[in-house]
Amino acid sequence: MDCNYNTPNGKGKIRKFHPSQLDVGIINEDSILKHDTAHNTKNIESAYNMGRYFIQESIMQTEANIGPMLETFQRTEITEHHIYKRLARTIKSSENAKILQQIADDELKHYEGWKKYSGQDVRPDWFKMWFYYLVSRILGFTFGIKLMERGEEAAQKNYAAVAATIPEAARFQHEEDIHEQQLIGMLDEERLQYAGSVVLGLNDALVELTGALAGLTLALQNGKLIALSGLITGIAASMSMAASEYLSTRSEETSKHPVRAAIYTGIAYIVTVTLLVLPYLLFEN
């Protein structure tokens, strides 16, 4: 007759043995426990070796690609160093110039840190440097810097991939994500304060002059006359809008200067008028 003999087998199951097996000493509880322990130890060692193998493979792949990655990191850092350095020289505000120079110094330190591991010098991306520099000069350095940092986010994600090989990568990423963002957040630019005045001029010029030019085109059928009439209408309207913005800003409790707000609105209006009239001067028909 069979009987149940409960033994732990590592899987929470019950093993059945015949009484004769226990009587004749074919198997006993100690031998079963030793067998299960050896089996579990073997499984643990196998899982450990497999995990170590995958980790080593990942490290080897990272080390194989680390050369090009370091070169990319270096080029990004030295390019941004030159951008911030050039902008710091052109900014009139001494406070903003100091902030930009500090960011430039940090970028140069990061470049030297990557150079210590790559062992080679990398030239900056001059096209990207001039592009961001001109954008910052035309649209404002705050806009240019924000645009540049947004494009850098993709490159910073690769810092974590080399952190296992280069311990300083984590510190570089921390400084890029936090320290520089705090510095950029401190930037204060006059153009941002008067952005509403600029948008007002652009919007009014598009709405008013587009309708006027459409009517003049149907009535006159002459490009030069249409352009001249559009310019006269646009300049008169820009003066009117500038005066309205001056009175509006003066009556509000704001830090904006009324005269400057009026100038920004008038200039934005005239620029829009010029762009709308330009096709009538360039094309005869």
What's the pLDDT score for residue 136?
83
Q: Which of 15, 50, 46, 44 lies closest to 31 in space, CA to CA?
A: 15
Taking only the tens place, the pLDDT of each residue in 76-108 is 889 989 998 998 888 877 887 888 888 888 888
Separation of CA 39 from chain center: 52
Contact between 96 and 189 (Cβ < 8 Å): yes
How far apart CA 52 and CA 84 sit, in angstroms, is 44
The pairing of beta strand 3-4 with beta strand 16-17: antiparallel
22-33 pLDDT tens trace: 444 444 555 555
Six-digit token string for 5:
């003999």
pLDDT tens, position by position, 195-233: 888 888 889 899 888 888 888 888 888 888 888 999 999
CB contact set of 140 (below 8 Å; sequence gap of 6+): 189, 191, 192
At residue 8, does pLDDT exceed 90?
A: no
Tens of pLDDT, residue by residue over 260-285, are 889 999 999 999 999 999 988 888 76
Q: How far is CA 162 from CA 157, 171, 172, 246, 275, in A?
A: 10, 12, 11, 56, 50
Rounded Cα–Cα distance for residues 27 and 33 (Å): 11
